[in-house]
Structure 1
Amino acid sequence: MTSIEDDAKHQDDAAPAAPPKKTTKQQLIAWARRLLVVVVIGFAAWQVAKSWNEVWATVKTLSWSATLISELFVLAGIFLGAYAWQIMVDDLGKPVGFIKGAQFYLVGSLGKYVPGSVWAYLLQMELGRKAGVPRARIFVATLISLGVSVVAMALLGLLSLPSVLDHAPNAVWLFALLPVGLVALHPKVLTWGTSLVLKLLRKAPLDHELRYGIVGKLLGFQVASYACYGMHLWVLADSVGSPSFRDLLLSIGAISVGLLGGIFVFILPSGAGVRDAILVGVLSTTMPASQALAFALVSRLMFLLGEVLSAGVGWLLPRLRKVSATV
């Protein structure tokens, strides 16, 4: 048993303590968070209402075939992301396999739609614990996977850098993370940084140094995941026009930057408003703003549908496996 699992065993076996009563400061922060969510949603609704005729004109032109293919790319991106995460979980202890790992990763991911996206990670940890995987192991895998995904998004975001500079300059600071992130991908640095975070949280450090192969596979699958998300956006745009290969690269870069921006505004459910604003700003370089807004809205709905469907698959797979095992 690894030191991570040793450290987690006592915590998971301990009786859960009653949650402490929230202080006045904590209650004020909670209400401020709710107010911010309402403001963001209200502002987004106003933007949509203001351009509704143009937005609806674009939505009506989307073909069913293009919409279906686009949704399949969303699902492909989600499952590639799940597999990347599972690679990290398996490296930290006894392999759990994709079917078991997908159960608590995909179902837990729905927690991102609760204000304060940290709920997704907490739900994954709890589902993992019920499946026999220590919370600490899930936490470490998520911590490393999240860090690598930030680098993957920043790398792909470079494809849209000229457009970001012109139309969403406030998002340029996200690229400042890239040099640091690339250095942090070195296995020795990544191992040291992860152990440092664990030490600050009074958890057991990693019991082995991360390997080039594991970090490389994790980064590769993360890049493939976000490339699929870009393909999803490009297919939508292709159904109402004739986008070029340059537009494909722009779509991949735009959605990567949008998702990256949403991560840092974790107080909002699934980066609501931030991701969409960046997406509209970047896409507006090649199409009318109302059309870009329409694609951002449709993309948001397709991600929601994809994550609900994938969570359903994640919940169903282990049950189908049990049924087939008894036949």
Structure 2
Amino acid sequence: MRSGRSPGTTPGGDTDGGPGADEVAESAARAIGDVPSGSRRSGLLAWMRRLTVLAVVAVAAGQVVRHWPAVSATVHSLPWGHVLISLVVMTAGVLLGPLVWRATLAAMGTRVRVPEAATIYLVGQLGKYVPGSVVAVLLQMELARSVGISRARALTASLLTAGVAVVTSLLAGLLAVPALAGSRPVLLWLFALLPVGLALLHPTALTYFVDRVLGLLRQHPLPQRLVGGAIARASALSLLGYLLYGVHLFVLVATLPAAGSTDPALLLVLCVGTMGVAMTAGLVAFVLPSGIGAREVVVVAALAAVLPYGQALALAVVSRVLFTVVELVSAGAATLAARVATRHRAPA
């Protein structure tokens, strides 16, 4: 384990404004291809991303129109009470996100209060609705900077959170392997990421990997090895979030008569696994705004094992709408709560 601090760190454990510190946001964006360099190639890539998004949206809209009678009937048949329960369960899962981000930050020895973590994470996450970008990460870096956390440290926390999310979502997704193997076996390649992800969750391996990334961004390495307990806590919270997402889908599916012939326990297992793989697909398809299209393909493919295609498509659309509403409202609520807390602290 490392000891002491590397040059360029503040007493709080964050990197200071040394060479390259103020440019880490631009460096990160360029490393992932989000900031155009002015070349013809970067312009072409930008247009390809836009065309990809338009194509996915067009295909999705076409599917909804094609199966509109079944989609419309399914949406209208959903009891509002169950939709509300599903919304509450999903909200609980979304609100675990800031706690995961906060835990990954704590793994580096940096502490932040829950309201601040909620504002940074939830507001920053709205950036994922921008096509093919890392705007969510960049927003989180700037929001974190406003509360005294260095951009490099915030970037590391966001990348760690994404990595933990991929691993835990795939763990939950294992429950849907039987259904996907019969309908969309091509999606099973996602699980090739799982062994690598599990190995990287070890603090020593994860610290080494993070240091290499920071080196590419011209930043100092971490002053000490990542705290294993904090990484484990982040992983547990993330896994709980995916379990809640599965429950959210189960509440909707269980209301449909076509699902009545399936054992409720098996149906719950299928829904948890479905949301796990769906969220992984959304994370991998970062070119698409919030993984739109990729997530729905998985949901429809898995639920088609117990529901007619039109009904599975309707639930995928309803789930997407609920997620969008919850993320927008939670980001606004986090911002409002942070402002109220700031005003209360001002007199003191």
- After TM superposition, the score normalised by the length of structure 2 is 0.88
Amino acid in structure 2 at the alignment position of 1:5: D
Whether 1:249 and 2:249 are equivalent positions in the alignment is no
Q: Which residue of 2 aligns with 1:120?
A: 136
Q: Which residue of 1 aligns with 2:322?
A: 302
Q: CA deviation at 1:200?
A: 2.5
Q: CA deviation at 1:239?
A: 2.3
Q: Which residue of 2 aligns with 1:270?
A: 290
Q: Distance in 2 between matches of 1:32 and 1:229?
A: 32
Which runs of structure 2 are paired with 1:59-74 in the superposition (5 Å)?
A: 59-74=75-90
- Over 3 Å counting, the alpha-carbon distance change for 1:225 and 1:8 in structure 2 is farther
Q: Distance in 2 between matches of 1:292 and 1:278?
A: 10
Q: 2:191 aligns with which of 139, 164, 175?
A: 175
Structure 2 gap segments, 5+ residues each: 1-9, 27-34
Alpha-carbon contact 1:7-1:204 (below 8 Å) kept: no
Q: Which residue of 2 aligns with 1:282?
A: 302
Alpha-carbon contact 1:148-1:218 (below 8 Å) kept: yes
Q: 1:320 aligns with which of 327, 333, 340?
A: 340
Amino acid in structure 2 at the alignment position of 1:257: V
Alpha-carbon contact 1:99-1:318 (below 8 Å) kept: yes
Q: Which residue of 1 aligns with 2:15?
A: 6
Q: Deviations over 1:223-262 (max 9, x none)?
A: 0011111111111112224461111111111011011011
Alpha-carbon contact 1:279-1:296 (below 8 Å) kept: yes
- Over 3 Å counting, the alpha-carbon distance change for 1:215 and 1:54 in structure 2 is same
Q: Which residue of 2 aligns with 1:239?
A: 255
Q: Which residue of 1 aligns with 2:29?
A: none
The 3-state SS of whatever aligns with 1:133 is coil
Q: 1:226 aligns with which of 239, 242, 245?
A: 242
Root mean square deviation, CA, Å: 2.1
Over the matched positions of the two proteins, sequence identity in percent amounts to: 40
Q: Which residue of 1 aligns with 2:7?
A: none
Q: Which residue of 2 aligns with 1:259?
A: 279
Alpha-carbon contact 1:82-1:106 (below 8 Å) kept: yes
The 3-state SS of whatever aligns with 2:15 is helix
Q: Distance in 1 between matches of 2:118 and 2:133?
A: 19
Q: Deviations over 1:82-105 (max 9, x none)?
A: 111111223334411110111111
Structure 1 gap segments, 5+ residues each: none
Q: Distance in 2 between matches of 1:156 and 1:8?
A: 40
Q: 1:42 aligns with which of 31, 49, 58?
A: 58
- Over 3 Å counting, the alpha-carbon distance change for 1:179 and 1:299 in structure 2 is same
Q: Which residue of 2 aligns with 1:87?
A: 103
Whether 1:145 and 2:165 are equivalent positions in the alignment is no
Q: CA deviation at 1:133?
A: 1.5
Whether 1:100 and 2:116 are equivalent positions in the alignment is yes
Q: Distance in 2 between matches of 1:130 and 1:209?
A: 26
Whether 1:195 and 2:211 are equivalent positions in the alignment is yes
Alpha-carbon contact 2:97-2:121 (below 8 Å) kept: no
Amino acid in structure 2 at the alignment position of 1:293: L
The structure with more helix, counted as a fraction of residues: 1
Q: CA deviation at 1:211?
A: 2.5
More deviation in 307-316 or 20-29? 20-29
Amino acid in structure 2 at the alignment position of 1:6: T
Q: Which residue of 1 aligns with 2:146?
A: 130
Q: Which residue of 1 aligns with 2:202?
A: 186
More deviation in 290-299 or 240-249? 240-249
Alpha-carbon contact 2:108-2:226 (below 8 Å) kept: no
- Over 3 Å counting, the alpha-carbon distance change for 1:32 and 1:38 in structure 2 is same
When the two structures are aligned, how many residues end up with a matched partner? Answer: 325
Alpha-carbon contact 1:3-1:204 (below 8 Å) kept: no
